[in-house]
Amino acid sequence: MEEVLEENEVFSRIRHVEENGTGLFRATGEAGLEGIVMKRKDSRYQPGKRSWAWQKVIHWHETEVVITGYRKEDPGWLIAVEKDGRLRPGGVMELGIGRGLFLFLPRGKGGPFISGSGL
C-alpha cells in the first residue's frame, strides 16, 4: 500500500512505534496530545467492533465541575466550570451514567439542583 498511495491533504499514513510505548505515551502528554492507541501487532482492524487487541490510552485531566442539569433522551449530566466567579458551560458528562439512574430524578421544574448560588 505504501507504494500505491502517496500522502496528501486528505490521506496520511499512521505513524507507529514498535517498542517504547511508555516513552511515546510520555512524549504525547508533554506535547498536549490526547493519548495513543496500542494494538497487538498481529491484530486486524474490525470496523464497528471493540477489541482488547486495540486499546486507547488517554492522558486524563481532572477539574472540578458543577452539575447544572441532566439530559433525559441520551443520559448525561450537564456540567459547568467556575471561571472568574461565574459558571461557564462545560459540556455533557456521559461516561458511567446508566439510564436506570435517571428514573429516580424528579421531573419538571426545580429538582435536586441548587439555584441562586451566586456563581
pLDDT at 29: 94
End-to-end CA distance of the chain: 56
For 10-22, what is the mean pLDDT?
84
Report in angstroms the alpha-carbon separations of 70 from 54, 66, 81. 32, 12, 15
> Any idea what DSSP says for residue 104?
G
Enumerate the β-bridge partners of residue 67: 79
Asked whether residue 104 carries a pLDDT value surpassing 80, the answer given is: no
pLDDT at 70: 83
Q: Delimit the domains of the chain by residue range.
A: 1-42+51-60, 66-104
Say what the pTM is.
0.51
For 109-119, what is the mean pLDDT?
49
Asked whether residue 118 carries a pLDDT value surpassing 50, the answer given is: no
For 43-49, what is the mean pLDDT?
87
Report in angstroms the alpha-carbon separations of 44 from 8, 39, 41, 50, 70. 24, 9, 8, 11, 38
Enumerate the β-bridge partners of residue 55: 38
